Amino acid sequence: MLALMKRSRLPVFAAIACLSSAAVLTCASQDAPKSYPVRGVVLNSITHQPIARALVDANSDAVLTDNEGRFELNLRDSFTQINVRRPGFNSNARNGSHPVQVGANMPDLTFYLTPDASITGNVMLSSGDEASDIRFMAYRRHTVNGHPSWMMQGQATTNSEGVFRLENLEAPAIYVVCGMPTRDRIGTVAPGATTFGYPSVCYPDAGDFSTANLISVAAGQQAQVEINLNKQPFYPVSFAIKNSQPGQGLGIQIYDQSGRMMGFSTRWNVEDKLAGVNLPNGRYYAEARLGGKPPSYGRVDFTVANGPVNALSMVLLPLHPIQVEIHKDFTANEGNSQQGGLVSFDSSGASQDFNAGLNLMLVPAEEFSSGMSGGLRHADGSSDSSLFEIDNVTPGRYWVQVSAFQGYVHSITSGGVDLAHEPLVIGPGNTAEPIQITMRNDGGQISGTVNSTSSAAASGSGSSVGEVAITFVYAIPLFPTSAQIPQTMAQYGGKFFIPNLPPGNYRIVAFDSFQDIDMGDPQGLSRLSAKGQTVTVESGATASVQLELTQSGAEGATP
């Protein structure tokens, strides 16, 4: 038997139940749950070589794999989650967790880990100076419920040799690498003075994010980039904030036109009542936020072109809540439970349900997002149980995403605009028509089985339990919708069930790892159309489907 390093197990105690009467005393021992050995191996998904000292953790028992990647746990007869982790690797299972049904005569398990990817950069300065302490970020392209966006995946700072290394990157994926602007002079800058430094550059030498080179990184790949930075003047920029004074908790941030924060702090000139910052040539905008009830917000766009930019003007406008009207077109006694909601009674004694029955998020429709907005709440002081509000939303364009837990969203509009097709546009001062949502509870459901054979698991991704692989199932709507893409994870035996679906046609696909699916990518969706099956969901009915597993990395599986 190979020596394994295990966490100590808690002792199991059998409970003793005793029954007594005048004539007889009977004691019975309650059987403890049975435990079974759970054995398997952890492999590198690329090389199929064993991974030593990977942590295999089932909460009640944990072990490090030996030199052959093997492990053995002792687990109770139940459905459990097994997490597999190792520094330098990531799991294809979502959150690294694998569902396993423990029982007698279990086959050996096989779990796969994928080596982390990295990007190493070498930075050269035109001045010949030491290129140290320059910060670089890796931005990964992903989707937020079917809409493409960019998010920062990692950051690193150059060393004394001008080298930075962005590690632990998810792969396969598409990245853009950008540096932050760096001034030669650190500390106080005299008002109106021009300084020098190195501007923000996206690999290889793009000043704008949209023209940067895309870096495709495969699992386990160590990509290399070379970046040259040219010294440039940083010109003074000043702007007046008409309705604010220093000391009021005012926050100001500078962004480039793509929406990337530049990381420069502004200074306040008390005498002239101007905010100032030094910037290299480029297109920017400044945002200012002021706390209060309601909070205030202002924005000004500007361009720096070989000289100072003086006395820009910014006006702070209140961020009024965005109104949301929710109408529940529910059939009697179905899907409109008030459990967990806020319920009150009007003067006639009739109940009012203040539970929205859904979660609503506003996701910026631009390349970069400074964060999603949400927090749906009942309107202050209103007795209308259908009226809700969203606070602290800044002007801009947003995709409205809804996750319903009472029924489904039948329609969603604002001022006649169908928000299932178009983004919500919020103007200065939060001028926007109310979001109007109609919910229904006459949806259908999909029940099915995924045929995930051992040959799929042996491809080197995901995890396998005997003849059954862990699978992720998606119901891609073939019609415009603001709802999140319905998804589930097939349970032991490949069974899955997706309830509460709006009637319509769906493309049902199953993968051996979690997928980002871009609903705005016609080519990607076209490739997916060759996978899975199209299913029609009818009101109040259950559609059945049998699926074949699509392997990660196969055509149609998105990074």
pLDDT in tens, 414-424: 999 999 888 99
Task: Classify residue 235 by its DSSP letter.
Answer: E
Question: What fold does the segment set 233-318 form as a domain?
Answer: Immunoglobulin-like (2.60.40)
Short-list 361, 398, 399, 354, CA closest to 377: 354
The pLDDT of residue 17:
40
Tokens for 471, please give them.
């699978």
Question: What fold does the segment set 5-115 form as a domain?
Answer: Immunoglobulin-like (2.60.40)
State the Rg of the chain over Cα: 29
Q: Which residues of the chain have pLDDT under 50?
A: 1-29, 334-351, 454-469, 553-559
Tokens for 183, please give them.
């001034």
Do 434 and 323 touch, CB atoms closer than 8 A? Answer: yes
0.85 surpassed by pTM: no
Question: What fold does the segment set 444-548 form as a domain?
Answer: Immunoglobulin-like (2.60.40)
Question: How many whole angstroms separate alpha carbon 524 and alpha carbon 27?
Answer: 66
Short-list 151, 148, 147, CA closest to 401: 147
Question: How many whole angstroms separate alpha carbon 297 and alpha carbon 317?
Answer: 5
Do 147 and 365 touch, CB atoms closer than 8 A? Answer: yes
Selected from 3.30.450.20, 2.60.120.890, 2.60.40.1120, 3.40.605.10, the CATH number assigned to the domain covering 117-230 reads 2.60.40.1120
Q: How far is CA 51 from CA 85, 89, 95, 219, 526, in A?
A: 10, 10, 19, 16, 37
The pLDDT of residue 270:
65
Q: Where are the beta strands (DSSP E) in 242-295?
A: 250-256, 267-269, 274-279, 282-290
Strands 296-304 and 317-318: antiparallel
3-class secondary structure, 260: coil
The pLDDT of residue 555:
39
The pLDDT of residue 428:
86
Domain ranges in the chain are 5-115, 117-230, 233-318, 322-431, 444-548
If you search the block for the tokens 């009830």, which residue do you land on? Answer: 293
3-class secondary structure, 301: strand
The pLDDT of residue 556:
36
- Per DSSP, the residues of 308-353 read -EEEEEE--EE-PPEEEEEEEEPPTTSS---TTS-EEE-TTS-EEE
Tokens for 178, please give them.
């950008």
Same fold, 5-115 and 117-230: yes
